[in-house]
Amino acid sequence: MVSRGGASGRAHALHCPAMGAERRVNRNRAATNRRVRGLDYPRGSPEGALGSIRGPQRAGVAPLRGPLVVLQEGVRKPPPLSAARRNEKKMRELYHKDLQQLAHEKKLARVRQLEVMWEAEERVDQKRLTRLLRDEEYERQMEEAVQKAEENKKLKELQLEQEERLATELARLNYEKLKDEKMRQQIRENSLELRELEKKLKSAYLNKERAAQIAEKEAIRYEKMKRDAEIAQKMKEEQERVIMEENSAELRRNKEKIYYQQELEKQLEEQEKKKQNAYEEFLKEKLMIDEIVRKIYEEDQTERQLKLEKMRATQRYIEEFKKEQAIWRRKKREEMEEENRKIMEFANIQQQREEDRMAKAQASEERKQKLQNMIAQNLEREQQEREDLEQVRQELYLEEQAEADRRKEMAEMEKRIRQRLELRQTYEAQLAFKKIVLQALQEEEEAFRQKMLAKFAEDDRIEQMNAHKRRMKQLEHRKAVEKLIEERHKQFLADKERELEERHLEERRKGNIHAIVEEERQKLLKEHASKLLGYLPRGILKDEEDVNMLGEEFRKAYQTRKDDVYSEDN
């Protein structure tokens, strides 16, 4: 593309400054190369031809005069020269060599100068190209920066506009939401239906709390009866265990007594047999037996004293036992058999007393058990009476509440009927009033027509006109009057339409209020109905739609409870 010439190349160079600068650099470089290779000196210059170079005269050398002799191949060799001519020839050759050397040095200096100039020009072109590229890059960056700044500005303006629209929309939504909440709050505060619903829900919560208190009291009573029964059972088991332990101890003591008695009889028999032969042995054995018997009786005494202390026996019995023991100790050697008889008698008496005590204890236990049963029955009867009374009060309260609800429903029904009658009477009165107003309006229009005709006739003095003008003027008067009447009629219709529109707006407002009341009622039912299942007063749920609106689980539970109540009533 550098070597391509013509208009297209020039146009392209003009279109792209960097490309034109590169082309100029290449042209200068090519010219320099041609000068270096071909020594392209100008014609007529001293460096053009070696024979025509005129250098400065050297010191002591005369300038050459005449043409130079150039030796060529094929030329005949000249005759030998003299010494002076040879010297002159040598001097001329030396001068010619000096000129050649000087021309060569000048040529080399020129080449070096051209190379330096070419390098300087190339550096200048390179710097110019670099500057142009840098300027173009700077302009491109500036254009991109300006374009980007404009885009950012537009984007910021668009974003700001979107934010403003969003803020406006949010403010409008917040205002609408706040307005709706305020209106709903005002409707909740002023709506009789919602206030009645809240009262019924509060009453249902009171009923639920009262039923929970009754159930809690019933649970406490059941737990108390259960604890009393457990305590009575434990007391009975403990008493039976004590009786069994006492019977076992008594049986063990009786067995020991019988065993010791048998051993004693055996020993007595042996003593009787060995009495004569071993009196001392008898005494030893007797002492041993007495010691054993003494220990036995001491043990019996200790056990009897403990038993007597447990049984809370009288002091007289203890004193008699001590006296008997003292008598036995005094007469133990002489009246062994008597003592044995007394021992058996005492054992029988003790057994009889134990049996009497057991009978008394059993009778006392039976009396105590009867008393406990009687007390428990009395407590249970009193609790049942209290529960029955509370149940009666609850049923009475529910009946009174239901009766109040029925009375309220009847009052509301009567109120609605009265309102319908009043509305009907008002409607009939409005129809009659409209007829009267319409008739009065027609009469007023007729009077107005006659009045205006008379006024126009008076103004124009129709009597003074001829027949044709009078008819034309009367026709104009009638048209003017009809136009006035039509304008009044249009105004009347506009007033009626405005009144009808206001009535429609009022009806829509009432419809919106009714819808909001219904939404708030459903919201209250959704919030509290599932918590008050079984305690909701009559009439709080209007129809099956309310039941279905509260969910499938509530509907099933409500239907189950309704079926249970129906089966109990049947």
- DSSP assignment string, 432-479: HHHHHHHHHHHHHHHHHHHHHHHHHHHHHTGGGS-HHHHHHHHHHHHH
pLDDT of residue 281: 65
- Angstrom distance (rounded) from CA 393 to CA 401: 12
pLDDT band at residue 321, thresholds of 50, 70 and 90? low
Report the range out of 23-27, 43-47, 128-132 with the highest average pLDDT. 128-132
pLDDT of residue 342: 64
Q: Determine the distance from the C-alpha atom of residue 159 to the mean position of all C-alpha atoms in its chain, rounded to a whole number.
A: 31
192-273 and 279-311 helices, crossing angle to 10°: 160
pLDDT of residue 71: 39
Q: Indicate the range of 37-46, 330-339, 392-401, 408-417 predicted with least confidence.
A: 37-46
59 φψ region: left (φ > 0), alpha (ψ -120 to 50), beta (else): beta
Report the range out of 91-105, 405-419, 426-440, 488-502 with the highest average pLDDT. 91-105
Q: Which two tokens mark 479?
A: 């048209």
Q: Indicate the range of 176-190, 296-310, 486-500 predicted with least confidence.
A: 296-310
Of the candidates 97, 100, 92, the residue with the CA atom closest to the CA atom of residue 47? 100
pLDDT of residue 341: 67
- Angstrom distance (rounded) from CA 346 to CA 340: 9
pLDDT band at residue 334, thresholds of 50, 70 and 90? low
Mean pLDDT rounded to a whole number for the chain: 72
Of the candidates 356, 351, 346, the residue with the CA atom closest to the CA atom of residue 297? 346
Amino acid (1-letter code) at residue 346: F
Q: Which two tokens mark 489?
A: 């009629």
CA 62 vs CA 56, 58, 91, 95: distances in Å:
11, 8, 9, 10
Burial letters for 182-212: b for 16+ Cβ neighbours within 10 Å, e otherwise? eebeebbeebeebeebbebbebbeebbeeee
pLDDT of residue 469: 67
Q: Which two tokens mark 336?
A: 């062994």
**Residue 397 burial by Cβ neighbours in a 10 Å radius (0-12, 13-18, 19+):** middle
Say if CB 187 and CB 509 are below 8 A apart.
Answer: no
Q: What is the mean pLDDT of residues 299-312?
A: 68
343 φψ region: left (φ > 0), alpha (ψ -120 to 50), beta (else): alpha
- Angstrom distance (rounded) from CA 562 to CA 558: 6
Instruction: Tell me the whole-structure pTM to 2 decimals.
Output: 0.34
- Angstrom distance (rounded) from CA 7 to CA 9: 5
Residue entry with tokens 């049947």: 570
pLDDT of residue 312: 59
Q: What is the mean pLDDT of residues 72-78?
A: 48
Q: Which two tokens mark 322?
A: 């001590």
The pLDDT of residue 160 is above 80: yes
Cβ count near 558 (within 10 Å): 19
The pLDDT of residue 3 is above 50: no
Q: Which two tokens mark 560?
A: 């189950």
The pLDDT of residue 541 is above 70: yes
Of the candidates 343, 339, 333, the residue with the CA atom closest to the CA atom of residue 283? 333
467-528 and 192-273 helices, crossing angle to 10°: 10
Q: Determine the distance from the C-alpha atom of residue 7 to the mean position of all C-alpha atoms in its chain, rounded to a whole number.
A: 78
The pLDDT of residue 503 is above 50: yes
Task: Please state the φ and ψ torsions of residue 128, each to the nearest 5 degrees.
Answer: -60, -45
The pLDDT of residue 166 is above 80: yes
Q: Which two tokens mark 474?
A: 């009367």
Ranges of beta strands (E only) in 307-404 are none
Q: Indicate the range of 49-58, 311-320, 362-371 predicted with least confidence.
A: 49-58
DSSP alpha helices (H): ranges in 313-335?
315-330
